[in-house]
Structure 1
Amino acid sequence: MSLIAFLGALELGLIFGFVALGVYLSFRVLDFPDLTVDGSFPLGAAVAAVWIVGGGNPWLGTGLAMIAGAMAGTVTAWMAVKLKILNLLASILSMIALYSINLRIMGRPNIALLSEPTIFVPLESLPVSRYVAFPVAIGIGLLIVTFLLNRFLNSEAGLAMRATGENARMASGNGINTSVMVVAGMALSNALVALGGALFAQSQGSADVTMGVGTIVVGLAAVIGGQSLIPGRSILVATLACLFGSILYRLMVAVALNADFIGLKAQDLNLVTAVLVGLALVLPKLRRRRRLT
């Protein structure tokens, strides 16, 4: 694998680190199986792309993308909490609806951003290659978001949210409004996913209505794989493991697709993803068996 391919994979891994944090919030913290991310990821890209193409500030467009993602997560949580729709089914309904919503927002299946002023444009004037500057900038932003997320989850509100995910009945008995916690957590989760979508569109130079297909699988691969390799009960270790899993997943995909002796091509991406997620699911069980023996 060439250096350019490695840096490109690293950049994608860092961008999908935001997705991994969002999936960690919904699946691990709230115990809410959420497929909304397959719709909120392209939603963030669509909102940011339309705003930028319309002449808007790219930073504001990225912020609006997060707000749109939070609204999508709120709707999913509202259907589950207030309408009593099964969590998984509520997220599927949101995911399906978001496909049409994203088309409405964009007005067409894809939008090009190659000649538009994105948040990465200032980095292109630096005396280093964009293949180095982009991952460094994204990595710094990801670490800041991870720090803020850790601070929140260790705060009083964050502890209430974690208690809701662990045992909603016990949390409710202790005076915690579990409905509010679920809605807030899902909003934050999908805001992070939409942020990843907005950054992905600006980094890759386009937004496409189908770019969210399989996002949940990538997020799960990062969360499950990372926590399998770096086990730990603290929030800091868990979130850092998610980031490590996201980067490792992208690097493994790049290695698999660039290894000539394997014979894989770009169209085999979903196959590689399925194999890696399967390995991430099996690895913890193999570790338990080794400990028992």
Structure 2
Amino acid sequence: MDFYLTALLQGLCFAGIAFGIYISMKIFNIPDITTDGSYTLGGVVTGMMLTHSQPGYVILSAVLLAGALAGALTGIIHTKLKINALLAGILVMTALYSVNLSILGRSNLPLLSMPTLFSAVNFLTNANQNSLVILGLFVLAITLLIGYLLKTDFGIAMRATGNSEHMIRALGVNTDRMKITGLALANALTALSGYLMVQLQGFADISMGIGIVIVGLGSVIIAETIINWLQITSVWLSLILVMAGAVIFQFVLALTLDIGVDANLLKLVTAVFVLLIVGLPRLTGRQT
């Protein structure tokens, strides 16, 4: 039971990445690879500030700002220098590896003795269950904030930029600014996942973000598949399904390990699982 509870906790931690990928790929149609670097950036900033005994609200603010700056840089390179969005993300992700290593000062930083978000408040005596309550409240707050933002005039302009850039530009909206803001928001959410995961697992690692974009992508694809099947148009339900997609993704990986699959094959299983999610609906459509 604790095995799957851990998967649930990790899925909730990865909800920020899923939301970030949802904003960049599904709202703006931008394949943003900055995710790998901004996730690690959130983790290393959290780790270093915890070792310097900074208050929680200061750490959270710094993480969100760092992630937003990384995303904004990708947006500026893409919109102002007219560089392909995929290449812009790769460039920033590559640069962030050096930035993260400079911040961390080493390849791995243990934090087991440090006070964290999950030790600050004790709703329950069981550590995992207490973390679940805190993460649940945290992710719920994030979901409500994003849902509210997407329903505002600004959020509608963001969604319109992805759906019909020429139309929204004709209405006087600065689409470049919208893209930069959207990527900043997406990577701030991604860094937030790093912030949560580092405190949950008790260490920050320079390689923690390698391939993490596939987690967010898989989560969003799971959600998108359900959204298309059920023909959901509600922003709120879409966000809930994106969050659920992150949890489902982790449950699948946990089940894979539970049935005895070699842990060395986990990345292969992850890739195959995402391929199946992407391919099966299309194959089913062709057969019908």
Q: TM-score, normalised by structure 2?
A: 0.96
Q: For 2:98 and 2:68, locate their aligned partners in 1 and report how far apart those are by CA, in whole Å.
A: 18
Q: Is the 8 A contact 1:48 1:58 kept in 2?
A: no
Q: Is the 8 A contact 1:50 1:106 kept in 2?
A: yes
Q: CA deviation at 1:130?
A: 1.2
Q: TM-score, normalised by structure 1?
A: 0.94
Q: Are 2:47 and 1:56 equivalent residues in the alignment?
A: no
Structure 1 segments of 4+ aligned residues over 6 angstroms from their partners:
none
% identical aligned pairs: 39
Q: Report the 3-state secondary structure (helix = DSSP H, G, I; strand = E; otherwise coil) of the residue aligned with 2:14.
A: helix
Number of the residue aligned with 1:257: 257
Q: For 1:106 and 1:273, locate their aligned partners in 2 and report how far apart those are by CA, in whole Å.
A: 28
Number of the residue aligned with 2:167: 170
Q: Are 2:74 and 1:68 equivalent residues in the alignment?
A: no
Number of the residue aligned with 2:88: 90
**What is the one-letter code of the residue matched to 1:58?**
G
Q: Is the 8 A contact 1:111 1:207 kept in 2?
A: yes
Q: For 2:14 and 2:76, locate their aligned partners in 1 and report how far apart those are by CA, in whole Å.
A: 26
Kindly report the root-mean-square deviation, in angstroms, between the aligned alpha carbons of the 2 structures. Answer: 1.2
Q: Is the 8 A contact 1:222 1:249 kept in 2?
A: yes
Q: CA deviation at 1:288?
A: 2.9
**What is the one-letter code of the residue matched to 2:251?**
L
1:233 to 1:284, Cα distance in 2 relative to 1, 3 A: farther
Q: Is the 8 A contact 1:38 1:216 kept in 2?
A: yes
Q: For 2:73 and 2:43, locate their aligned partners in 1 and report how far apart those are by CA, in whole Å.
A: 19
Per-residue deviation, residues 258-288 of structure 1 (Å, max 9, x unmatched) = 113xxx1222110111011011101321443
Q: Is the 8 A contact 1:58 1:117 kept in 2?
A: no
Q: For 1:274 and 1:90, locate their aligned partners in 2 and report how far apart those are by CA, in whole Å.
A: 24
Q: CA deviation at 1:237?
A: 2.1
Q: Are 2:142 and 1:145 equivalent residues in the alignment?
A: yes
Per-residue deviation, residues 100-120 of structure 1 (Å, max 9, x unmatched) = 000011111111110011111
Gaps of at least 5 residues in structure 1 are: none
Q: For 2:286 and 2:186, locate their aligned partners in 1 and report how far apart those are by CA, in whole Å.
A: 33
Gaps of at least 5 residues in structure 2 are: none
Q: Is the 8 A contact 1:228 1:283 kept in 2?
A: no
Q: For 1:223 and 1:148, locate their aligned partners in 2 and report how far apart those are by CA, in whole Å.
A: 18
Q: Report the 3-state secondary structure (helix = DSSP H, G, I; strand = E; otherwise coil) of the residue aligned with 1:105.
A: helix
Number of the residue aligned with 1:216: 213
Q: For 1:143 and 1:172, locate their aligned partners in 2 and report how far apart those are by CA, in whole Å.
A: 33
Per-residue deviation, residues 126-164 of structure 1 (Å, max 9, x unmatched) = 443111111221111111111110111111000111111
